[in-house]
Structure 1
Amino acid sequence: MKSQETAGDNKSPIGVLLRSWREARRISQLDLALRANLSARHLSYVETGKAQASRDMLCRLADVLEMPLRERNVLLLTGGYAPQYPENPLATPALEWMRQAVDLTITHQEPYPAFVLDRHWNVLMTNQAAVRIGNLLMQGRQSKHTNLLHQVFDPEDVRSVMLNWPEVAEKFIRHLHDEIAMAPSDQITQHLLQQVMQYPDVPEHWRFRDLQRTQTPVFTFVFQSSEGELRFFETITTFSMPRDVTLAELRIESSFPADAHTAAVCAKLAAA
């Protein structure tokens, strides 16, 4: 006799989506039903296509599965409902005050670099300090990419001036795998992993997520430049409890000097 979880041959879209998220979160069908205060039989029928989930049920399931806002919208659309969260361009009037907050944050980061990224590591905005440091490191050459991952992994880009590139690259690979685990239905993130794995000297075992290795509390980026070695550590700022997909996916990466020499070089460039 087949179990409830595997019963039925109907591959309903909502069932496929829910099962993929359960597998990613390592939650059984019974556990998901209990945590969402639902009938296990009803959830089984929804996954096999024998019953339709209500909008409220899908929202509760999304809460338990800790789905990002974009994926919550996908779940609702797959279930036949309108998306719950808007996705406004950052330049839209609806996000004017939030955009001003972003501008204020990266401006006040001077004379140290700051970058605004989306969830796929595309660089959306930078402050002038980031431009100055970039020009110093690349000796006036323009980056080939607008995507931070490609900048880090391409030997002809920022990677060429990273003195601790193996450690930096491994850090980004770990973050990339974490993002894939957080949103297993995001094909763009998975494609990014395949792309960066094609660059030279990228270890093959990085294709797979490593849950065993312990990370250092604070990571330092070390660059070579005409002003000597520059060392930075970073903080990441996000919006608290965003209700818009764009805001939920924005992050501000702020760089700080990790030694007095780096701080002095940043101040010197700003003064010049």
Structure 2
Amino acid sequence: MTTVVNDTGVGPLLRGWRGRRRLSQLELALRAGSSARHISFVETGRSRPSEEMVLRLAEHLEVPVRERNALLLSAGYAPRYTESPLDAPRLEALREGVERLLRGYEPYPALVVDGSYTVVAANRGVHLLLGGLPEHLLTPPLNTMRIALHPEGLAPRIRNLREWRAHLLSQMERQIGLVRSEPLRALYEEVAAYPPPPGAEGGTEGAEGGPEGAEPYPYFALPMRIEHDGRVLSFVSSISTFNTPMDVTVAELAIETLIPADPETAAYLRSLAEAEEASASG
């Protein structure tokens, strides 16, 4: 994901973020301990905000870390947040912690993605679900949206594709509203245009989760119901991010865990793991 610095100054950028958050100048001023007059002067270029004020406004506007650097540059200040490659020595503790987390979550699927939904780490539970997919979808860098929605990917296996596709596209739309990223928008347009898999038009489940007219899902959240070796597994997705990140790379990472949505799915995954351990020890 790239940072684009507007050469017209920090004012129009702040006004744009305020518009996205649907805040008035007075509302932003009250939150930031300033005045509507000062906010107006900053946005129109009549006043140059201090570095502290830029960061304070960015915080109250919930500006992503990468874009906070862009605001600082536009105001004439040095970027505050580093952008380290994932293999950087300073991120060694992060990598080790994430790897332990992913291994500890097995046999259930868990993975880490960046801001463009590129997979940067995954456990064995994820690889279990990807078995049998074509090589062109599994060639690095893997992208979770392409894998999930491509007609040759997981889409034909997802029993409630209509609902799950709508959930994924809505998730991307919300993120596009938070960040200025042409690659992310291009990815959205790509996956949104994928044709449905053969037979999917009449084979997806109803809006309430079961076949048309059936009872609603007996789950606490919308599950992904996916076929695997002749049975249907149900998962609910949970996404976690890092608290108060000080590095652009870390700020854009998200850990997604797939929680078994019913006892049958949990038992099946445990049985697969036990069989794999028995085979390895034998």
TM range (shorter): 0.7 to 0.9
Q: Does 1:161 align with 2:157?
A: yes
State the Cα deviation string for residues 194-226 of structure 1 (Å, max 9, x = none). Answer: 222221259xxxxxxxxxxxxx85221111122
Q: Residue 188 of structure 2: which of 193, 207, 217 is its match?
A: 193
How many residues were matched structurally?
Answer: 245
Alignment of 1:17-96 (within 5 A): 17-96=13-92
Aligned partner of 1:54: which letter? S
Q: 2-side partners of 1:126 and 1:148: how far apart? A: 11
Runs of at least 5 residues in structure 1 that lack an aligned partner in the other structure:
1-10, 203-215
Residues 1:264 and 1:42: Cα distance change in structure 2 (over 3 Å): closer
| Structural mapping, 1:211-222, within 5 Å | 217-222=220-225
Residues 67, 236 of structure 1: alpha-carbon distance in 2 compared, 3 angstrom cutoff? same
Q: CA deviation at 1:155?
A: 0.9
**Which of 239, 243, 246 is residue 242 of structure 2 equivalent to?**
239
Q: Distance in 2 between matches of 1:157 and 1:97?
A: 34
Given residue 168 of structure 1, which amino acid in structure 2 is its aligned partner? Answer: W
Q: Aligned-pair distance for 1:140?
A: 5.7
2:126 to 108, 126, 130: 130
Alpha-carbon RMSD across the aligned residues, in angstroms, is: 2.2
Judge which range, 36-45 or 147-156, deviates more: 36-45
- Take 1:25 and 1:217, find their aligned partners in 2: how far apart are those partners? 30
Measured against aligned partners, the alpha-carbon deviations of 1:6-64 in whole angstroms (never above 9, x if no partner) come to: xxxxx933222112101100012232233222243333232222332211111111121
Q: In structure 1, which of residues 144, 154, 157 is the aligned counterpart of residue 137 of structure 2?
A: 144
Distance 1:217 1:174 in 2: 19
Q: Secondary structure at the match of 1:119?
A: coil
Partner of 1:182: 178
TM-score by length of 2: 0.79
Alignment TM-score, normalising by the size of structure 1: 0.82
Indicate whether 1:112 and 2:115 are aligned.
Answer: no
Match of 2:268 among 259, 265, 268: 265
Counterpart AA for 1:257: P
Q: Give, in whole Å, the separation in 2 of the partners of 1:236 and 1:122.
A: 14
- Percent identical: 39
Q: Per the alignment, do residues 21 and 117 of structure 1 end up closer, same or farther by CA in structure 2, a change over 3 Å counting?
A: same
